[in-house]
Amino acid sequence: QVQLVESGGGSVKAGGSLRLSCAASGYTASIYYMAWFRRAPGKEREGVANTYRSGGATDYADSVKGRFTISQDNAKNTLYLQMNSLKPDDTAMYYCAAMTSPWYPGSWASELLYNYWGQGTQVTVSS
């Protein structure tokens, strides 16, 4: 079992920055990939960024490329999402997710691939 706890959300004005954290505990050695997803009001949950836990390879949604950076500190079992140049469209509940399969078909952004989820942290960006 893996437990994920997000933190770092809050309210900022457009153009501002936030850094989200996700602390993983439990059987973290079983994790191959970690990701950030978000769900905006009235919309489906979407993938924001993904990283390979052992190699650092990353993927991003087109909507956040160049503005968001996913990173990790494996010694601390913590995943981060640095969010810069925030826009009102980034307003959403942000979730951390972990995948325990070493391989996946198709897109990393399919939430069905992820076994474990955090409870989420709210990010609100005002204009």
Whole-number average pLDDT of the chain:
96
* pLDDT value for 47: 98
Q: What do you get for the CA distance between the two ends of the chain, in Å?
A: 40
Band (pLDDT 50/70/90 cuts) for residue 104 is confident
What confidence tens digit (pLDDT) does each residue in 3-19 have? 999 999 999 999 999 99
Query: How distant, in Å, are the alpha carbons of 10, 13, 32, 55, 62 from that of 51?
Result: 23, 28, 9, 8, 15
The mean per-residue pLDDT over the stretch 57-62 comes to 95
Return the pLDDT at 94. 98
Q: Report the pLDDT averaged over residues 47-63.
A: 93
Portion of the chain with pLDDT greater than 90, in percent: 92
Residue 119's pLDDT band, with cuts at 50, 70 and 90, is very high
Q: How confident is the model at residue 39 (pLDDT cuts 50, 70, 90)?
A: very high
Where is 10: in which H helix or E strand? Answer: strand 10-13
Strand, coil or helix: what is 122? Answer: strand
